[in-house]
């Protein structure tokens, strides 16, 4: 885990003009594999979806003809493509999830009956999981990159090609939405 | 607590929780939440959702641990053996055709140095004899000798320019 977090620190500390002579996107994809997995996990995809997304991203990396001047640009491109693939996967599976959600809920309720403390935590986690799934597409990516991947607003802005002030606004909105949903569901902070 | 003030503070709460406010704004929020229970609850909820979300994300990440790196696509293998076989085939065909042409080419008659030397000597002798005979042509008494000389040159040096000239003259 620490290694993955350290990876993100490296991204921030990379010199802006670091030129790569032989820029091989597939090599960078393999080097950034852990980081991309973290992004996908944050975006709420399961193992099977995660494999699909990584497969798609690797294929896109193989086919990518756009030239990148620096490793930073490559990594940003990879993260952006990964987030977009995750959102596409969410859209594709939304109808399936709606049906499967009911089954999962029932199973979860069965699990909750073990101990009170565990049950409360499980319920709270479920609320947050649901809230994250229902979060607007434009908000989920920035939230994951900021709070799970420890990137700052400026870097997120560069990755998603949006102003950093807009990112700050989205992060505020997302955090408030999540907190209010928790309160609405009667969870005492 | 006025609703307007709470709304203003809530706008700043996320940045406050993330420690991104200026010291002045930060102390303003701190003062407010000490007295406003709703805003304090919201701040706590903000932190709690983040903690819970982190647990959700970490659980998701644990699930993806089984996902292994895809194998690096192998660089296209160059089949040197095939190329070598094709090159060898071409070489064999070209060599065979060259050898075949050489074998079937009509052979040129080779002339040795001695033959050339003899030919020159014969031509020179014939020319010298012809020139000497030509000197006698104007004398009527020497007509028989001239004809005899012509015949001799034509017989003795048949493949010389002098013999060719004599043939023309006799005809």
How would you class A63 by CB atoms within 10 Å of its CB: exposed for 0-12, middle for 13-18, buried for 19 or more?
Answer: exposed
Interface-testing mutation among A41, A46, A124, A156, with chain B (most B C-beta atoms within 10 A): A41
Structural domain boundaries in chain B: 6-104, 113-170
| B53 contacts A176? CB cut-off 8 A | no
DSSP letters along B122-134, please?
HHHHHHHHHHHHH
Question: From the list A40, A62, A132, which residue is nearest B56 (CB)?
Answer: A132
Task: List the structure tokens of B135.
Answer: 């000197």
Chain A residues touching residue B14 (CB < 8 angstroms): 171-172, 175-176
Task: List the structure tokens of A48.
Answer: 């099977």
Residue A17 has pLDDT above 80, yes or no: no
Of residues A36 and A11, the one with the higher pLDDT is A36
Q: Tens of pLDDT along chain B (171 residues)?
A: 566 688 888 889 998 988 888 999 999 999 999 999 989 999 999 999 999 999 888 888 888 887 887 776 666 667 788 888 999 999 999 999 999 988 888 766 677 888 888 889 999 999 999 998 888 888 888 888 888 888 889 888 888 998 888 888 877
Distance in angstroms (rounded) separating the CA atoms of residues A117 and A114 = 9
């Amino acid at each position: 885990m620490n290694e993955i977090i350290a990876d993100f620190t490296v991204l921030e500390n990379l010199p802006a003009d670091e030129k790569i002579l032989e820029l091989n996107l597939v090599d960078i994809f393999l080097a950034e594999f852990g980081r991309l997995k973290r992004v996908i996990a944050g975006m709420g995809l399961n193992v099977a979806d995660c494999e699909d997304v990584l497969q798609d991203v690797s294929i896109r990396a193989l086919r990518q003809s756009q030239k990148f001047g620096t490793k930073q640009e490559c990594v940003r491109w990879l993260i952006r493509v990964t987030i977009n693939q995750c959102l596409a996967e969410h859209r594709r599976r939304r109808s399936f999830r709606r049906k499967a959600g009911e089954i999962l809920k029932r199973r979860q309720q069965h699990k909750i009956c073990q101990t009170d403390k565990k049950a409360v935590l499980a319920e709270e986690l479920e609320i947050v999981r649901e809230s994250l799934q229902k979060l607007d597409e434009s908000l989920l990516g920035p939230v994951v990159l900021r709070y799970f991947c420890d990137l700052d607003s400026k870097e997120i802005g560069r990755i998603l090609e949006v102003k950093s002030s807009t990112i700050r606004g989205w992060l505020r909105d997302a955090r408030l939405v999540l907190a209010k949903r928790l309160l609405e569901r009667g969870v005492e902070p | 607590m006025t609703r307007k003030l709470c709304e203003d503070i809530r706008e700043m709460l996320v940045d406050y929780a993330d420690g991104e406010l200026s010291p002045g704004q930060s102390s303003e929020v701190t003062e407010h939440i000490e007295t406003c229970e709703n805003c304090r609850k919201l701040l706590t909820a903000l932190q709690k959702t983040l903690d819970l979300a982190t647990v959700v994300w970490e659980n998701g990440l644990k699930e993806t641990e089984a996902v292994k790196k895809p194998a690096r696509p192998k660089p296209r293998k160059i089949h040197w053996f095939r190329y070598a076989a094709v090159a060898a085939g071409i070489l064999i065909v070209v060599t065979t055709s060259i050898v075949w042409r050489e074998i079937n080419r009509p052979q040129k008659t080779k002339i040795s140095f001695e033959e050339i030397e003899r030919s020159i000597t014969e031509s020179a002798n014939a020319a010298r004899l012809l020139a000497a005979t030509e000197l006698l042509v104007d004398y009527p008494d020497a007509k028989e000798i001239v004809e005899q000389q012509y015949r001799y040159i034509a017989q003795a040096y048949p493949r010389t320019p002098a013999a060719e000239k004599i043939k023309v003259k006799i005809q």
